[in-house]
Chains A and B, each alone.
Chain A
């Protein structure tokens, strides 16, 4: 297997996620696009980990460990993010992220 096939798949997923973050107005949909971005990063971590393990140091597995950390942080991020969206909905009756511009200069 080539390294590039996984890395390019990660790049495609990342760019789709970036598009989603910019083009969505629903807060929950923005969080879903962020999940796409985090998953593309995880594919890269595992691809480099496999490449490194193959080229002589099978005891090193840092890429997989960091992928697990990314999964942990993603779970925390979704928990807090959805709580924020929920509070937003409760106070403003809308989860349109374009309408949250109280800090806009």
Chain B
């Protein structure tokens, strides 16, 4: 599949292969490991791989946001959640329920279907034809957020405020 690609992008494709392999292995560990703390740590690898993919796709601002918000905040929040709910730090045999075969029956055909549809739809469409690699500039991104998407941006702010207040109300002791 990658053999049809432009040779100019060979380094990118090699790095993509390495990152994708690490991501898939880590993601599998996130959903199969018996230790919920280890799952959070494997999740860091997946999120870092996603940030690497964003850089490969030429969008460094979203990659930095991914590292700041996901690895910096959300994983820490997960670790606090694990700590506060007193999940056993060691291995826990009851992390999975008895629906594992059923979950496989759902996930694998879904993967087959999505893989077939994607392959059928895009075949070897290239993101980057000849020419310089795409680099989306952050100024274009900020112009777009604060002009075209100003109202959704404000809605997202209100959503964050509502989530903040909701989390405080839910987690309060009385």
Contacts and interface: CB of A to CB of B under 8 A. Distances in A.
B167 A14 contact: no
Contact of A64 (B24, B61, B92, B123): B61
Given A9-B23, A12-B27, A18-B107, 9 more contacts: A1-B12, A4-B122, A24-B96, A29-B39, A31-B81, A33-B30, A67-B62, A69-B156, A82-B77
Interface residues on B, range: 35 or more
B53 A87 contact: no
A71 B66 contact: yes
A15 B5 CA distance: 26
Interface of B is mostly: helix
A43 B56 CA distance: 11
A61 to B, nearest CB: 5
A29 B57 contact: no
Contact of A51 (B2, B36, B82, B125): B125
Contact of A26 (B23, B66, B95, B104): B95
Contacts, number: 266
Interface string A79-96: 110111111010000011
A23 B85 CA distance: 20
A22 B107 contact: yes
Interface of B: 1-2, 4-5, 9, 12-13, 16, 20, 23-24, 27-28, 30-31, 36, 39-40, 43, 46-47, 50, 53-54, 56-59, 61-62, 65-66, 69-70, 73-74, 77-78, 80-82, 84-87, 92, 94-97, 99-100, 102-104, 106-108, 110-111, 114-115, 118-119, 122-129, 134, 136, 140-141, 144-145, 148-149, 152, 156, 159-160, 162-164, 166-168, 170-171
Given A5-B16, A83-B167, A76 B159 contact: yes
